[in-house]
């Protein structure tokens, strides 16, 4: 399934189309696809990487993640598998043939472990709110209320298809759950640190040679808030470095605003991955 964008090349064509023609409940898949794959593909991917690292700050969750060894011993594969499964649902529709296959594969993976419902809920909430928070810090335009609500309804439906119970009934209630859960459960453990370092080093390895990665680590830490850094056992950056890093990311905003919109969606399912350079089958994603 693909959702066609408006024909206009205006930088705000996607936003204007969503505002004029789409409903955040009934059309949540289309809105999420257009917003993510046309207007904010790079930003959403970075935000979801931060969401992954944020989950590592919950000591209760990190024990299981460390015990399986997937994120520590097969970090690249676990990252690629997660991205591809989520992208199959987003880019094709969770009710398409490929979307249903990806959802089925994800549920098969989760059934191997006993995971408390509130940990599922917290992870789901990061998929909703980390892209919103990233946008508030670095977005080239603000997300509209329709886009925010559509994101909530998209992940609420995916959560229901995962048999997650007690999903809060509104965007605001889910955000309160997210904030309260972190306040109660974001605590340091050594497993947190190991998972965060493994994932951070993987992300840095894609863009920096070995000698520059310690500097890259300091830059990466500057993008995380102090409570999360403390929970991960990572050093807090100097305030000046944090301002420099955030300013550098915001410097792209005028350039992005001046560009015409994307003419084709950025589809992660169509890109080569390091784990599957020759393509993949959905049934092969995840742990054996």
| Blockwise average pLDDT, block size 10, the chain, 288 residues | 85 97 98 97 96 94 82 90 96 97 94 90 98 98 98 98 97 98 96 95 95 96 97 97 97 95 94 94 88
Between CA 13 and CA 170 the distance in angstroms is 28
Give start and end residues of each alpha helix (H) in 162-282: 171-185, 190-205, 213-221, 226-232, 239-250, 253-258
User: Token pair of 205, please?
Assistant: 């390895």
Which helix (H) or strand (E) is 12 found in, with range? none
Phi, psi of 186, deg, nearest 5: -80, 100
Domain ranges of the chain: 25-257
Provide Rg for the chain, Cα atoms.
19
Between CA 136 and CA 159 the distance in angstroms is 25
User: Token pair of 169, please?
Assistant: 């009934």
In whole angstroms, how far apart are CA 218 and each of 178, 190, 224, 237, 238?
A: 27, 19, 10, 7, 9
Distance of CA 224 to the CA centre of its chain: 15
Identify the pLDDT of residue 12.
96
Identify the pLDDT of residue 70.
76
Between CA 90 and CA 280 the distance in angstroms is 17
Structure pTM?
0.95
Which helix (H) or strand (E) is 284 found in, with range? none
* Cβ neighbours around 13 below 10 Å, total: 19
User: Token pair of 127, please?
Assistant: 């998929």
Identify the pLDDT of residue 174.
98
User: Token pair of 130, please?
Assistant: 């980390």
Between CA 223 and CA 241 the distance in angstroms is 10
């Amino acid at each position: 399934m693909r959702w066609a964008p408006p024909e206009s090349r205006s930088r705000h064509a996607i936003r204007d189309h969503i505002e004029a023609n789409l409903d955040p409940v009934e059309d949540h898949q289309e809105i999420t696809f257009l917003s993510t794959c046309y207007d904010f593909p790079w930003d959403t991917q970075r935000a979801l990487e931060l969401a992954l690292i944020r989950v590592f700050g919950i000591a209760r969750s990190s024990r299981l993640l460390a015990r399986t060894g997937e994120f520590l011993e097969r970090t690249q594969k676990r990252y690629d598998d997660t991205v591809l499964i989520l992208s199959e649902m987003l880019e094709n529709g969770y009710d398409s043939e490929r979307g249903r296959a990806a959802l089925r594969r994800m549920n098969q993976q989760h059934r191997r472990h006993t995971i408390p419902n509130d940990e599922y809920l917290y992870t789901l909430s990061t998929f909703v709110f980390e892209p919103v928070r990233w946008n508030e810090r670095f977005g080239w335009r603000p997300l509209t209320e329709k886009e925010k609500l559509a994101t909530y309804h998209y992940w609420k439906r995916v959560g229901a298809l995962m048999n997650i119970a007690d999903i809060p009934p509104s965007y605001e209630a889910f955000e309160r759950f997210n904030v309260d859960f972190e306040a109660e459960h974001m605590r340091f453990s050594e497993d947190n640190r190991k998972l965060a370092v493994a994932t951070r080093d993987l992300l840095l390895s894609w863009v920096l040679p070995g000698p520059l990665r310690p500097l890259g680590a300091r830059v990466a830490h500057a993008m995380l808030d102090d409570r999360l850094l403390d929970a991960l056992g990572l050093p807090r950056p100097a305030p000046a470095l944090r301002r420099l890093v955030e300013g550098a990311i915001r410097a792209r905003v005028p350039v992005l605003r001046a560009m015409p919109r994307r003419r084709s969606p950025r589809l992660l399912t169509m890109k080569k991955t390091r784990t599957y350079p020759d393509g993949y089958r959905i049934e092969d994603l995840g742990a054996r």
